[in-house]
Each structure stands twice: as C-alpha cells, then as structure tokens.
Structure 1
Amino acid sequence: MSHGGLRRTGAIAIGSLMLLGLMGCLKVTSVHPATASPQPTQLPQQVAMQKPQTVDPKLVTANTTFSFKLFSELLKQESNQNVFVSPSSVAIALSMAYNGASGTTQQQMSSTLELQGMSLNALNQGNANLKALLENPDTGVQLAMANSLWARQGVPFQPTFIQRNQKFYGAQVTDLDFGAPNATATINGWVKENTRGKISQIVDSLKPDDVMFLINAIYFKGSWTKAFNKSDTTDKPFYLVDGRQKRHPMMAQTGSYKYYENEQFQAVSLPYGTKRVSMYIFLPKQASKLSSFAKTLTAENWQRWMSQFRTQPGSVQVPRFKLEYDVELKKALSALGMPIAFDARKATFDALSTVPTKIDQVKHKTFVEVNEEGTEAAAATSIGIVATSMPTNEPFQMVVDRPFFCAIRDNKTGTVLFMGAIVDPK
C-alpha cells in the first residue's frame, strides 16, 4: 500500500489495535439455523455521558506502570528490532475482558494491570472518563478511540458483562453468526474503518470454538506545532545497531523546545497542535546504547524525567520514519503475571458467560508514520544510575542518527498513547 499521500498532506497518524479471542473449553456451536441471516445484530448502545473534567490519577499511574512493564518485556523478546505499541490500547482491551473474570484469574489480571486497590466500578468509570478526555483533545490533533465486542450467536453471555462494556467503554456490541462466509470480513471491516484504513485485518479466521472477540482501536493524527521545512530534509547517515550505516532522510529545524539531558541521554519534546500532546524522543549518548537505556525505562524514572524538561533553544535532526508492527502478546502477558487467563483448565470467566472460557489470543497491531508535517497512524533505561539535569543556557544540538526511543503522550492526563524503540527508520 502506498502512503505517499501522507507526505503531501504533512500529517502523521498512529494507529493501534488490540484483539482478545475468548475461546471456549468446550466446542460451542451456534443454535441459529443455517438459513439465518448472516447480517450482524447491533445491540442497543448506552446514552453518551457528559465530558468529564478529570481522570482518576490512580488509573493513569496504573496504566503508566503497566505500559513500561509490557514494553520492557517485549524488548526482551524482540531485541534489536523495531518495537512500536499502544499500551493504552492493550490496557483498555484487557480492562474490557477483566469485567468477565473472577477468582484467581481476576487477581492475576489485576496485578498485571496494576489495579490493586481499585474497584471494578472505579476502573470502568476511570476508563470512560479517560476516553472522553482524550478524544480530539486539540485543534491540531485527531484522536479517536473505539471499542467493539463480537459475540457468537447462540452462546449465553452474562447481561451485566455486555452492559458494562456498552456503558463504560462505548463498545459496539454485535451478535454475529461466526459461521457466515462474511463474518471475518465484517469484523475486519470495523477495524479498517476505525483505524482510517491503516490496519485492515486483525482476525485471520474464525475457529469453531471462538465465542467472542473484544477489540480496541486507537487512531491518532497530529500536526506539529512547528512543521519541519521539507527543503531542510537531507539524506544523512543513520547508524544501525551492528555499526553499519545507511543513508536516510533527516528532518531538521531550530527553535525553542522542552529539553532534558543527563549523562545517559538527550531528550526533546516535539509538540502537536496547541501543545497538549507531544512526541518525546530519547537519544542515548554515543557511549551508551538503546539496550542500556531500556533497562532504566521504568514508570518511576519516566515520571521523574517528565518533570525535568525545561524550555531551551536548540536544533534537532530527526529521521523521517514509517513502520508497521504486530505482535501476539500472550507470552508477554503470561510473563507479567496472568498465565491463568490463558489456561483452559484454570481460567475463570464466569462473569462473562456460563460457558467455560479462556483468553486464546491477544493480537496487537500498530502503524506509524512521522514526517515533516506531523504524525498519522491507526491502532510504542540505563544502569540504575540516578541522573540529574544538567542545566545550561547554551543552545543544544540533538542529531537522532542512531537507535532511539520515542513516545506520544497526552500532557494533560499523563497518558502514554504510543511508545516505540526505533532501531531502523525504514
């Protein structure tokens, strides 16, 4: 697929998708006759709530901690590879499934998602408020979040589970004939629509024992507060992990930026629109490496670093980049403490259905493109040294010509929407 149009419009979009396939331990077949219409039945939606003014700080803290745990685990599995995820998307989809869990399954999911001390109602209300606050937060930013729940016709689901996902997550709930020829295309069509065409497929096929899919989609498109001048973009060396170099388009500009530097890295904030949302780029020093930086990439350090940024004059050179990323998260989530949810013998989702179920797969896909005008997409560490800020009034120079870390953050709520380790800006 060609994305040349993005460069002409100067927009950059980021999209993230999360899919949960809930798989029955027993084979479940639809009770609908073969002659039944393959068209999905849309269940009624809840009335939209008024836009809240704040979001529960406990939820933001939990999401931030989970985000960096998940990212760290993925870096272990995919070292020296581009990794770009939307931890917010993963957390929202898991929260939807969490409403159906009980017993040890619920306890493990709570621990993995850092929800200790939060009631189910507080979690759900917090996610509803967060979604309302994040959507279209800025005149220069498009941010849309959508949820859907696809239920196999004929399988008994708990009404409370369905109602909560409709009320708090705005989920489009569809009673779907999984045996219909166009069932997979119907689900993927929703995905494509809600990621503005950036992700066209999340479900490969439907198996006889699939009973439900929970899907979250996030679409982001932001225009830089100060666009890069295309005439200043030139091909320059980018140094890969193995020491090889490649010629790559590097965008450049000078100005006044929020900036932070210590002995391990340089970091700059590049804002979108009216500066509520920013991309943060962290560049390990020459003597360090991205893998070393990754070891210090924790929620605690992140919060401390965010408080250290100060406005300073300088110049930046940033590679233009575009990538698509997909990953199956079952292994990472099991390692983070919730293996029982995937175990057919032990998983307990009786608040979801009277049919025994487990989570079968957690698929996640992202797309990101960064260019002179902004960012458009669909669906992203050191050695324990406590680094302090090195204040200076001298203009800084930051040339991002080697592997780096980046994140897109909503500065009002502190929510990290996307984060990535870019080792090759293909």
Structure 2
Amino acid sequence: MKFSLCLCLLLIGLQVHCHHVPGHSDEQEGNGEEHPLEHQHHPLAGQEIEPSSYKKIVDSNAKFLFRLYKHISSDSATQNIFFSPLCISTCFAMLTLGAKDETHHQIFHGLGFNLSDIQENEIHAGFNRIVCTLNQPNNVTQMTLGNALFIEESSKPLPKFLNDVKTLYEAETFSTSFKNSKAAEYEINDYVKNKTNGKISHAVNNLDPHTVMVLLNYIFFKASWKNPFNHELTREADFFVDANTTVKVHMMSREGYYDFFHDDDLLCWVVRLPYNGDFSAWFILPDKGKLKEVEDALVVGLLNKWRTSLKHKKIELRIPKFSISGSYDVKALLQREGVNDVFNDNADLSGITGQRNLKVSKAIHKAVLDVHEGGTEAAAVTVVDITFSALLPPPPILEFNKPFLMFITNKATRHFVFMAKVHNPTA
C-alpha cells in the first residue's frame, strides 16, 4: 500500500557549565532510580483557551515557520528542504518550563511570542491543545506527536518541572546514565526507532558523557490521499531543476476535481490535495523564474487567503513521486533569531534543577518525507471524477515539473505541521 509519510525529530542536549553537577556525585544516594512524576491534574492541561488567544498562537507559529524557512533556504538555496516547525516550536516551548529571566524571554521571542501580548499560560495551554488534538487515537490519519526526556540518573530535576512537561506536553521521562555514552546513545536511538516505525533509526551519536538531559520531540505522520493516484498512470518525465539541469522523475498523474487557483500576487499556482482525515497537502508551483519571489513573499495569513481563493474545477494534475530528508542545526538557526543565552554560560535553566548550571549544548532536527501514489484501494472514488462524454475538451494540465513548495496542514489545529521545498526530486 502506498502512502504519504512524514517523520520529524528534534533533539536538545543539556550539559552543565562545568564538568560536574555541583552537589552531585556518582555515589549519590538514589543513583539509578527513576524519579516519579507527580500525577496530579495540571490546571492548564486540556484547558480551553479563548479563540483570540489561540489565533495568536497560530499566527506566531506561522510567523516562526516562515522566518525559519528563510534562514534554512538562505543556506541551501539549491537543495531540498524538509522540516517541521511544529516539532521545533513544541520542543522549545516545553524547554521554557525550566527557563528563567532573559533565557526565558529570548526563547519565547525567538519562537515568535510577545509575552506582553499573550500570557505564558495561554501559550502552554495552546500547545497542550495541539498535542492532545493530534494524538487522538480515533484520527483517520496515523499521527503521533510525542515528547521525551532522558535524564542523567544522578541528576535531581524539580518535581514541578517533571509534572509540567508530563501534563502539558505528554512527555515521557527516562533515567539514563550518560557517563556510559554508548549505552545512552543506543537507548535514545532505539526509542526513536520504535516511535518512528524504524524510519529514523540513528538520532544521536557522539553524546558527551557530561550530558545531563536530552529532550526530544518526534512526529510520525502517515496518510493516504482522499483521491489516490493510479500507479499505472505514473510515467517517466522531465523535471527542470534549473536552466542547466534536467532530471528524470516518476510523474504521477490524475484527472479529477481539485481545489486550486493561480495566485497573481505571489505568481504561483496553488493546489490543495486532501488526505483521508483532517489533513491536507498544499502544493505551490511558482511561475517560471519566480521561486525566490514566492519564498520572499511567504507571510502570516497566507493559508487563509488561499482557502478563500480556491476554485473547485477539473484538471489533470501531475506531481512527481519523491523522497527527501533534512537535518538541521537548530541552535544555529535560533541564534539568528536572538536566542543566545540558553546555548552559553549565561543560560538560566534553574527551573529544571533549581540551579543555574545547565545550558543547551546541541539542538538537532531531522526529518524524512515520502510521497507516493495513493493509499487504500479507492477505485470508486476515482471513478466519480471520470468524464463520460468524449465530446468534452480535455481538462487543463497542471504539472509540477520544476522546483516547488509543499505544506502539510491540520484543519482542527489550523497549523502548518510540515514544510518542504522540492528542488530536485531525485536528490
């Protein structure tokens, strides 16, 4: 069975400022035991927030997406890009539960939140709503968004911090011996491999034995198209990477009714492909030579503009099959957004252990995307769109045969979950 598959992972490593944690030693009493979580109900967990507050969260996360994309694109203008802004923002929002003062302010500001405009508890309640909504077991789409903390067994995190990450972000916690770095790497990699169905099997390597904590966020997304492509219609075709480069791709083709239009402001075609369930893929095809202009014009509110402009008409849609991946140093990306203190000795993460002795040593994001013809058998759905009159002219063709953008969105949370730039489907 063919499907669309997206996998994302963000890993944050915390280390002490020096080579030991003050007041702790290998012989400390209780070493090797897991620290129990407080299982009381958190006042923000599952909390309903005002529509206006949630809109601020949606807008801030969209703003963060576009800023992050432009940083990544400036470093890799001629490369494929794939990442999950939601994965990154969720993990760092979780980290703010342990951040204080300027460190706390910088992280929220870097994520696009103005704490004079929205309260911190509203932000956490918003992320809690996203996590709970996406993890509904009865969702048609296989979607799992999860968080985990691997904590050095000699460390003593504050019960409040453990309770908050558990109740607000549904984070699992594990006691780990980072002094045995190889064993810790195996434990984390095995966890990630299981959570992503084996698609990301190597999340970490060369862990520093002085690591105190690893925070990670993962997203597993597997969905079938509401209107699948017929694999028998897939043909080899040219894809024009640039003026000097043409590659052969497996071009999927389907004739049917789609929501699409030409954005005359951004100079691009926009087509929405629904998945079974609450997700949609948006494919953006810039006019010839207009990719950079489209990238520069990406703004908050774009999705609402597109939704109101779509026309439901019959076309022949051609999109290449592709598999792309991305790996990004989030530390470097966030430093461009003014998030500095959390990565150096000025870090104040005293909300985690009660002491100002922690900093983020690395923040790595990995993502994998596979797009194929279909999903479950859906011949009846396909037949609905077939025209029975030979007298009608053929529908117009919209062919994605040059670099394009792709978003995957969730209707219930109104969020961009993934973003991609397909510069070369064969790379």
Q: Is the structural similarity TM-score above 0.5? A: yes
Amino acid at match of 1:173: T
2:11 matches 1:19: yes
Deviations 1:334-379 (A, max 9, x none): 11121222122x222121221412211110001110000159xxxx
**Contact map agreement 2:37 2:162 (CA 8 A) in 1:** no
Which runs of no fewer than 5 residues in structure 2 stay unpaired? 377-393
Amino acid at match of 2:151: A
How far apart are the structure 2 equivalents of 1:120 and 1:214? 20
Shift of 1:197: 0.9
Q: Which of the residues 25, 28, 33 maps onto 1:31?
A: 25
State which drifts further: 180-189 or 131-140. 131-140
Q: Which SS does the other structure have where 1:412 is aligned?
A: coil
* Residue in 2 that maps onto 1:268: 271
* Residue in 2 that maps onto 1:154: 154
Q: 1:32 to 1:374 in 2, by over 3 A?
A: farther
**Contact map agreement 1:283 1:400 (CA 8 A) in 2:** yes
Shift of 1:136: 4.7
2:110 matches 1:107: no
* Residue in 1 that maps onto 2:175: 175
**Contact map agreement 2:286 2:294 (CA 8 A) in 1:** yes
Normalised to the residue count of structure 2, the TM-score between the two structures is 0.86
Alignment of 1:147-296 (within 5 A): 147-180=147-180, 181-263=182-264, 264-274=267-277, 276-286=278-288, 288-296=289-297
Normalised to the residue count of structure 1, the TM-score between the two structures is 0.86
How far apart are the structure 2 equivalents of 1:61 and 1:137? 27
Q: Which SS does the other structure have where 1:225 is aligned?
A: coil
Shift of 1:217: 0.5
Shift of 1:327: 1.1
* Residue in 2 that maps onto 1:411: 411
2:298 matches 1:320: no
Shift of 1:202: 1.7
Shift of 1:143: 0.5
* Residue in 2 that maps onto 1:384: none
**Contact map agreement 1:32 1:153 (CA 8 A) in 2:** no
**Contact map agreement 2:178 2:184 (CA 8 A) in 1:** yes
Shift of 1:100: 1.2
Q: Which SS does the other structure have where 1:297 is aligned?
A: coil
How far apart are the structure 1 equivalents of 2:168 and 2:415? 18
How far apart are the structure 2 equivalents of 1:303 and 1:337? 29
Shift of 1:191: 0.8
Q: 1:47 to 1:242 in 2, by over 3 A?
A: farther
How far apart are the structure 2 equivalents of 1:273 and 1:78? 33
Q: Which of the residues 76, 84, 87 maps onto 1:86?
A: 84
**Contact map agreement 1:156 1:355 (CA 8 A) in 2:** no
Which runs of no fewer than 5 residues in structure 1 stay unpaired? 1-8, 376-393
* Residue in 2 that maps onto 1:10: 2
Q: 1:328 to 1:242 in 2, by over 3 A?
A: farther
Q: Identity over the aligned pairs, expressed in percent?
A: 24
Shift of 1:192: 0.9
Shift of 1:158: 2.5
Alignment of 1:128-143 (within 5 A): 128-136=128-136, 140-143=140-143
* Residue in 2 that maps onto 1:382: none
Deviations 1:287-337 (A, max 9, x none): x33222111112233442333223222111000001221111111111112
Q: 1:258 to 1:45 in 2, by over 3 A?
A: farther
Q: 1:45 to 1:217 in 2, by over 3 A?
A: farther
* Residue in 1 that maps onto 2:361: 360
Shift of 1:171: 0.7
Q: Which SS does the other structure have where 2:350 is aligned?
A: coil
Q: 1:421 to 1:262 in 2, by over 3 A?
A: same
* Residue in 2 that maps onto 1:383: none
**Contact map agreement 1:192 1:201 (CA 8 A) in 2:** yes
Shift of 1:44: 4.0
How far apart are the structure 2 equivalents of 1:335 and 1:192? 31
**Contact map agreement 1:62 1:115 (CA 8 A) in 2:** yes
Q: Which SS does the other structure have where 2:165 is aligned?
A: helix
Amino acid at match of 1:78: S
How far apart are the structure 2 equivalents of 1:244 and 1:137? 45
How far apart are the structure 1 equivalents of 2:302 and 2:154? 49
Q: 1:35 to 1:45 in 2, by over 3 A?
A: closer
Amino acid at match of 2:204: V
Q: Which of the residues 12, 28, 34 maps onto 1:41?
A: 34
* Residue in 2 that maps onto 1:385: none
Q: Which SS does the other structure have where 1:311 is aligned?
A: strand
How far apart are the structure 2 equivalents of 1:36 and 1:348? 26
Q: Which SS does the other structure have where 1:299 is aligned?
A: coil
**Contact map agreement 2:324 2:370 (CA 8 A) in 1:** yes
How far apart are the structure 2 equivalents of 1:124 and 1:105? 17
| Cα RMSD, aligned residues only | 2.5
**Contact map agreement 1:13 1:222 (CA 8 A) in 2:** yes
How far apart are the structure 2 equivalents of 1:96 and 1:25? 21
Q: 1:129 to 1:80 in 2, by over 3 A?
A: same
How far apart are the structure 2 equivalents of 1:186 and 1:272? 34
Number of paired residues? Answer: 396
Amino acid at match of 1:284: P
Shift of 1:121: 2.0
Shift of 1:164: 0.6
How far apart are the structure 2 equivalents of 1:64 and 1:211? 32
Q: Which SS does the other structure have where 2:161 is aligned?
A: helix
**Contact map agreement 1:268 1:280 (CA 8 A) in 2:** yes
Q: Which SS does the other structure have where 2:128 is aligned?
A: helix
* Residue in 1 that maps onto 2:384: none
**Contact map agreement 1:112 1:336 (CA 8 A) in 2:** yes
Deviations 1:178-228 (A, max 9, x none): 123522111111111111111112221321331111100100000000110
